[in-house]
Amino acid sequence: MSRALYYHLGPARRFDSATLLEAYASGYFPMGDEDGAIQWITSDPRFVLPIGNLHVPRSLARLARKCPFELRVDTAFRRVMEFCAQDRGDENLCWITPRMVDVYTELHRAGYAHSVEAWLGGVLVGGLYGVSIGAAFFGESMFTRVEVGGANASKLCLLELDRRLAAGGYQLLDSQEENAHMAQFGGVLVEYETYMAKLESAVASNTTF
């Protein structure tokens, strides 16, 4: 079981794109609270997904072959974040603050943050987003709008993300902390020292998303 180690940065007004990139490259990721403060978190051990070797349940593999959605990349980054930030009760405790949406959107415009989106009849029904530094991709959050026909949409976005990372020669897909939803795809826990060595190598490498 992961144990989270916390370092408190301070109020959200001190949260900017340069600090965010430095934090990711140093092994930290952010979570906001209702007061607008940012908690910088690192986990020991760290949960990562095997690029190009995800475990895909049979039912999802069949759905992927049919591909009922139009999968796009980076066409609605801010909207993806806004959907991810919606309160989903115990599943999502509103850790994505408005300031975080602004800063990640800045990173997106600078080419460091990306979204994978599922569209159905012109409607955004699912997606995910994360940050890319070198050959490391840091997955942040995903959403599915079941009420508009998006069942399993975010899972297909994950498969598309994996395909792109494998094609681009990425070395690390960081899923941060272990959870049952991501564990089904074959994620593994790695010791902190091992993770940091992988991270250092990945961020120093050059690749294209």
Question: How do residues 129-150 score in pLDDT, each as one tens digit?
Answer: 999 999 999 999 999 999 998 8
The percent of residues in the chain predicted with pLDDT above 90, rounded, is 72
- What is residue 9's predicted lDDT score, i.e. its pLDDT? 46
**What is the average pLDDT score of the chain?**
89
Give domain limits for the chain.
Answer: 3-203
Contact 18, 107 (CB under 8 A): no
How many angstroms separate the CA atoms of 138 and 121, rounded? Answer: 29
> What average pLDDT score do residues 19-24 get?
94
Indicate the class that CATH gives domain 3-203: alpha beta
How many angstroms separate the CA atoms of 28 and 42, rounded? Answer: 5
Distances (CA, A) of 40 to 25, 60, 104, 174, 206: 13, 34, 15, 15, 26
Contact 47, 182 (CB under 8 A): yes
Confidence of residue 82 (pLDDT cuts 50, 70, 90): very high
Strands (E), 23-110: 29-32, 37-44, 46-49, 70-73
- What is residue 153's predicted lDDT score, i.e. its pLDDT? 95
Q: Which of 175, 176, 197 is nearest to 4 (CA)?
A: 176
- Of 11-20, 31-40, 85-94, 127-136, minimum mean pLDDT range: 85-94
Confidence of residue 88 (pLDDT cuts 50, 70, 90): low
- What is residue 31's predicted lDDT score, i.e. its pLDDT? 86
Confidence of residue 93 (pLDDT cuts 50, 70, 90): low
Q: Which of 91, 100, 102, 103 is nearest to 143 (CA)?
A: 91
The pTM score is 0.91
Confidence of residue 65 (pLDDT cuts 50, 70, 90): very high
Q: Which of 100, 125, 109 is nearest to 77 (CA)?
A: 109
> What average pLDDT score do residues 14-36 get?
87
What is the CA 165 to chain-centroid distance, rounded? 13
Instruction: Tell me: pLDDT of 2 over 90.
Output: no
How many angstroms separate the CA atoms of 188 and 45, rounded? Answer: 10
Contact 32, 12 (CB under 8 A): yes
- What is residue 32's predicted lDDT score, i.e. its pLDDT? 83
